[in-house]
Amino acid sequence: MQVIVVTGLSGSGKSVAIRQLEDSGYYCIDNLPVDFIVPVVKSLEKRGQEKVAVSIDIRSRTAPQNARLELGELESLGVDLRVLALTASTPALVQRFSETRRRHPLTPLNRVPGDQTGLQEAIAKEREMMNFEDCFVLDTSDLSSATLRAWVRQFVDAPDSEMTISFESFAYKKGFPVAADYVFDMRNLPNPYYDPKLRPLTGKDAPVAEFLRGKPEVQEMISDIEAFLRKWIPSYRAQCRHYLTVCIGCTGGQHRSVYVAEELYRRFSKTAGVVVRHRALAAGRK
């Protein structure tokens, strides 16, 4: 059983780290009181859970020495225990709290006269209380969220998360899709709609596919989109994206967009996690 304990200064990125661990297949518990770590891990082990991650912060560490005792007991159980401690410079933490407008956990809720505890004083107090011994310490001061997620994956030897790529056809006359990362317009291509024999069919039918396959500009459009996506998809994976939606539109969402979406799906079908959907057809067309 592997147990990852994420700790560190407030605002240093613990939430980002625990979300990445969850995406990497860990059973995650955020802000677990230290005294509960051992019984919770024992319970999860009995249930067959092999990968667990817990996040603890200063609110659950009133006695830092207790944390070492609890973690030592975990090690005695024979689990693969790894402690990741996140820290950051005071200017970086001040900027993050200012941007999120969140209260530091050590800032008093109900102040008494003469209490001078501000954000910087709270950060300094928490830094004094933290114990980074026997931890893997990571300074996140200048790290983007994507870089932190990538480093957390490396810390636990997790493989890159698979990204789902969706090719979705849609009809412009029914509105622009909201959840779209890329949108490509097929309305400039030859339209099978004007052939009475092809009008009642869709881009999934052989006669329509044969019609569009015989148009050089259609094949050139598909090849250009394919080349564009193959160039830029790796950068989305590097940003730890889990979903990429590519929308293909035409006037009615019946012929051209459906055919192009199907062709792109076919060309990318050897890539894991590729799906194809047709909005207009799902809404009631043949």
Domains of the chain, start order: 2-155 (3.40.50.300), 164-282 (no CATH)
Please write the tens of the pLDDT for every residue from 170-185.
Answer: 999 988 887 789 999 9
pLDDT at 111 over 70: no
Identify the pLDDT of residue 17.
94
**For the residues 196-205, what does the mean pLDDT come to?**
96
The 8 Å CB, 24+ separation contacts for 25-31 are: 25/51, 25/158, 26/51, 26/52, 26/53, 26/156, 27/51, 27/52, 27/53, 28/52, 28/53, 28/54, 28/55, 29/53, 29/54, 29/55, 30/54, 30/55, 31/55, 31/56, 31/57, 31/59, 31/60
pTM > 0.85: yes or no: no
CA angle at residue 270 from 247 to 268, to 5 degrees? 25
Q: Which residues neighbour 90 within 8 Å (Cβ) at sequence distance 6 or greater?
A: 120, 123, 124, 127
pLDDT at 286 over 50: no
Identify the pLDDT of residue 161.
62
State both tokens at 200.
């009642």
CA angle at residue 251 from 250 to 256, to 5 degrees? 40
Query: If pLDDT is split at 50, 70 and 90, which confidence band does 155 have?
Result: confident
**Dihedral Cα 233, 238, 243, 249, nearest 10 deg:** -30
What is the SS3 assignment for 50? coil
Identify the pLDDT of residue 285.
46
* Amino acid identity for residue 47 in this structure: R
The more confident residue out of 160 and 286 is 160
Identify the pLDDT of residue 59.
60
CA-nearest of 96, 104, 256, 266 to 184 is 256
State both tokens at 116.
């001078």
* Amino acid identity for residue 87 in this structure: T
Residue 109 is classified by DSSP as: S
